[in-house]
Amino acid sequence: MEERVKQIKQQLSAHNYKLTPQREATVRVLLENEQDHLSAEDVYLLVKEKAPEIGLATVYRTLELLSDLQIIHKLNFGDGVTRYEFRAEDAEHHHHHLFCLHCGTVDEITDDWLGPIEQRVEKEFDFQIIDHRLTFHGICHRCKDQVKDPKKLVGSKVT
């Protein structure tokens, strides 16, 4: 984790920003919970445990700055909640997500299966693809047995 914090400090410095204690607390919470796709409110509640003096607005500003500098990605799964995750430094493309409409869990697909589709789109539409995002909305393996009619969840908020 210390190496990642050091990298982020360098990225901030390259854009004339400092890694203030408040920003560092936010970064550390994101790193400690990297697999969880936290919302700003989630980040705030976890940061408050470590640094009670930090306000929600500070966390929001930090997340916006990190997003603007492309250190983290903003994710929206259509449920009205913005979530955050770190950009993969070595990844050519963004990875994909499975979003459970029942419990709101977000799972990741790390393989990029869209290469052939990208090539076809670039060729047929003379379009240079920089990146892509793909999210599957459905029912996760944890909720599969609890949901009687999955079609009723389409277009609804997480239950």
pLDDT per residue over 5-61, tens digit each? 999 999 999 999 999 999 999 999 999 998 888 999 999 999 999 999 999 999 999
Cβ–Cβ < 8 Å for 132, 95: no
- CA end-to-end span of the chain: 34
76 closest CA partner among 135, 30, 29, 157: 135
pLDDT band at residue 114 under the 50/70/90 scheme = confident
- Residue 79 pLDDT: 80
Residue with tokens 């400092």: 18
The per-residue pLDDT of the chain, averaged, comes to 87
| pLDDT over 70 (residue 91) | no
27 closest CA partner among 57, 67, 55: 67
The CA distance from 92 to 8, in Å, is 19
